[in-house]
Structure 1
Amino acid sequence: MMSLKKILKIMEMTKIESIWLGLESDNFSHSGLLYKRYSAEVLPDIFIALKAPEKLRCIAFRISIGFSFDENQWNKLKDIKIETLPDDRDNTKKFLLILLLNKQHKDIFSTLCEDLIFGVSDVSTEQTLVEKLLERLVKWQSLFEKVGKQGLSDEAQRGLYGEIYFLRFFLNNTSDKNHCLKSWLGPENSIQDFQYSNWAVEVKTTHGNNHQKIHITSERQLDDSIIEKIFLYHLSLDIRVGNGESLNSLIDEVSELLNDNTMASNLFKLKLLESGFYETHRPFYEERGYTIRQENLYRVSGNFPRITENQIPIGVGDVRYSIVLSESEEWRIDQETLLGEIQ
């Protein structure tokens, strides 16, 4: 009888991962391609596949036999490979394959393939399809290269904790989960951590003795002449080993909040990868816990203490400065006010 733990694990799997596991359990010995259609609701012909006899995981796109592109420009990629195979069932078609060569990256590959499928789900021309596929490969490569690093720095962990802490708050107070995930731009090194339409939220975390002092990394970060409404969300943290909420547990809770929304869940996984958070690094983050010391919200407007782009003399750049938040009380707002502005 299958254990409850195993049943729950299967339920947590992405669709693409479950298809690969099904294909891998097939006792086949022939060479070629073993594949299964991802979904009839996706416009292009997309298949989850294994290339035999190596049993390499891959994603396959069926295109016209006469459609050509330069495969050689991608032959220096590490850990993934691009190639084409004829379709034995239709001599007018061929498969364009993206193969995973390094099994260490299978979790990342699964997330990236899911994101890729969502990205091309309504593409109607082969030219656009192939362009979208190939433009993602450089991004994929950069993500694979980060896996070998020994996890996030202490500062990066605190920053990511703060952003996901705000994301959880946002998700718990809105019905549009996709909107929340799309607004999270911190992993893309955007000017502000959250931005959508005419609003932006910059998240800052502090700890230790200078818990009321935040650092601003550019003259554009708090410049409301660039975007209409800017808010500052500040978390003052106490950090203890074995006490408080870990980065891992926060991420797991947000993942559970997104279980009923495949697109938002997959986007969350992709943004974690872009932030440098990888499943293989989870042991590095397990013991460190965060406790909220203070939680502050400010509307950045008027004479809020800051430096903006129009105040910078010609020839001056790379502006960095600090703000003492105890001097900013008149701009403080509550959570209800913020939610009314960003939904």
Structure 2
Amino acid sequence: MMTMIPKFNPWIKMDRLSQRRVDAATSHNLFWIIDSKGNYGLKIQTDGAFSKETHMIKLKSIHLIKDETQVDQAAFFLILQNLHEWEIFYTLCEDLIKVVLNYPNSSKMIEAVEQRLKRWQQLLQYDKTSSFTIERQMGLFAELCCFVEVIIPKVGVRQALISWNGPEADKQDFLLDDSVLEVKSYRTSKGDAVSISSLKQLYSEKESIYLATFALTASENGQSIEELVNKIRFLIIEQGSSADLELFEAKLISYGYAPELIKEELNSFIVDKQRLFYVAEEFPKITPKDVSDAIILATYSIDLARCEKFEISLDTFLK
């Protein structure tokens, strides 16, 4: 799947202080607008009222304005202050338009729009210069697989979400009550070996340490990150709360997964092999206890073919 910022510019032939209706089949009124200074904008007009929380949403380079002076009608404006950012702004507007189309009811539409704006508040703080490489994609894909297939069956959706530390590189991927779980992905074509990038990845003061490994092959016939994300969103909606969903979205963005802004091609993956290991004292590893205090960084690889005696089944995980 290729996610690209669109090149179409709906404001390009508009005059200042003008508006043009968005070609969208909805009971709400949507307009592309240009203000007196030549700034691009989107106007959402409805018969409901936007909440006070809207004033608390801050979007980089974008002003949010409410106009509730007319009886039984409210207008909400998004005004872009930096025309160099118009492509991202257009992506935001298109996203909001899709939300509006899904909610003919004004109050529910307004609530949904405000939730999307909160997500965009996080997105626009994200460092868009960093690249979402295939290695980062594989890492996130493996952690999401582990989230669904290993953690949720044992502790439930909400605890799985709370325990996920994947975006925080200095911690194990899942921090549970008495255990930690590190997740590693690797290319099947390169053999059964995983790279450990820190002295602390297989070290913890907690009672048990586990290592989950995923051998992956990039393939159009595989599963995508988007599919896994949607599956987890559904589980959170079904079993959790709106706060849980917001936390999940925030962690995805911290990881670098912001589909609205990613320009790289996103791969789909086939899981060729999934394994779970108990990291016992004699498990092959290098920890802070094994080296001098003067050594603060070490990376090494583990041959999984020589770790069979440490492999466990999902049934015995956390027991």
TM-score (norm. length: structure 2): 0.64
- For this pair of structures, how many residues does the alignment match? 241
The residue type paired with residue 149 of structure 2 is: F
1:222: which partner in 2? 202
Task: Please say if residues 167 and 255 of structure 2, whose CA atoms lie closer than 8 Å, have aligned partners that are also in contact.
Answer: yes
* Cα distance between partner residues in 1 of 2:125 and 2:177: 33
* Cα distance between partner residues in 1 of 2:152 and 2:279: 24
Task: Please say if residues 158 and 236 of structure 2, whose CA atoms lie closer than 8 Å, have aligned partners that are also in contact.
Answer: no
1:96: which partner in 2? none
Task: Please say if residues 193 and 201 of structure 1, whose CA atoms lie closer than 8 Å, have aligned partners that are also in contact.
Answer: yes
CA-to-partner distance for each residue in 1:234-291, whole Å, 9 max, x for gaps? 0001212x211112222222222222222322221111111111131477455x2211
* Cα distance between partner residues in 1 of 2:307 and 2:117: 42
1:232 aligns with 2:237: no
Deviation at 1:81, TM superposition (A): 7.5
1:258 alignment partner, SS class: helix
**Further displaced range: 253-262 or 313-322:** 253-262
Q: 1:100 to 1:174 in 2, by over 3 A?
A: farther
Residue 269 (structure 2) aligned to one of 269, 290, 293: 290
Deviation at 1:149, TM superposition (A): 4.0
Deviation at 1:78, TM superposition (A): 4.0
1:26: which partner in 2? 46
Residue 181 (structure 2) aligned to one of 193, 201, 210: 201
Runs of 4+ aligned structure 1 residues displaced above 3 Å come to: 77-82, 99-115, 145-151, 281-286
The residue type paired with residue 237 of structure 1 is: L
1:299: which partner in 2? 278
Q: 1:175 to 1:334 in 2, by over 3 A?
A: closer
Deviation at 1:327, TM superposition (A): 0.9
Deviation at 1:313, TM superposition (A): 1.5
CA-to-partner distance for each residue in 1:185-239, whole Å, 9 max, x for gaps? 0112242111122211100001143231111111111114x22211000000121
2:225: which partner in 1? 247
- Give percent identity, aligned residues only: 23
1:149-228 matches, cutoff 5 A? 149=129, 152-170=132-150, 172-174=152-154, 176-224=156-204, 226-228=205-207
2:61: which partner in 1? 79
Task: Please say if residues 157 and 235 of structure 2, whose CA atoms lie closer than 8 Å, have aligned partners that are also in contact.
Answer: no
Q: 1:59 to 1:314 in 2, by over 3 A?
A: closer
Deviation at 1:309, TM superposition (A): 0.5
CA-to-partner distance for each residue in 1:65-115, whole Å, 9 max, x for gaps? xxxxxxxxx9xx943679xxxxxxxxxxxxxxxx99784557798468489
Task: Please say if residues 248 and 282 of structure 1, whose CA atoms lie closer than 8 Å, have aligned partners that are also in contact.
Answer: no
1:66-105 matches, cutoff 5 A? 78-79=60-61, 103=89
Residue 148 (structure 1) aligned to one of 128, 152, 156: 128
1:252-291 matches, cutoff 5 A? 252-260=230-238, 261=240, 262-281=242-261, 284-285=264-265, 288-291=267-270
The residue type paired with residue 48 of structure 1 is: E
Residue 53 (structure 2) aligned to one of 48, 68, 75: 48
The residue type paired with residue 53 of structure 2 is: I
Q: Which structure has more RCO (C-alpha within 8 Å, separation ≥ 6)?
A: 2
1:259 alignment partner, SS class: helix
Unaligned runs of 5+ in 2: 1-24, 27-42, 65-78, 97-113
* Cα distance between partner residues in 1 of 2:116 and 2:308: 43
CA-to-partner distance for each residue in 1:115-144, whole Å, 9 max, x for gaps? 9xxxxxxxxxxxxxxxxxxxxx9xx5xx52
* Cα distance between partner residues in 2 of 1:174 and 1:311: 32
1:99-114 matches, cutoff 5 A? 103=89, 110=115, 113=118
The residue type paired with residue 216 of structure 1 is: I
Q: Aligned-residue CA RMSD in angstroms?
A: 3.7
Structure number having the greater helix percentage: 1
* Cα distance between partner residues in 1 of 2:185 and 2:117: 29
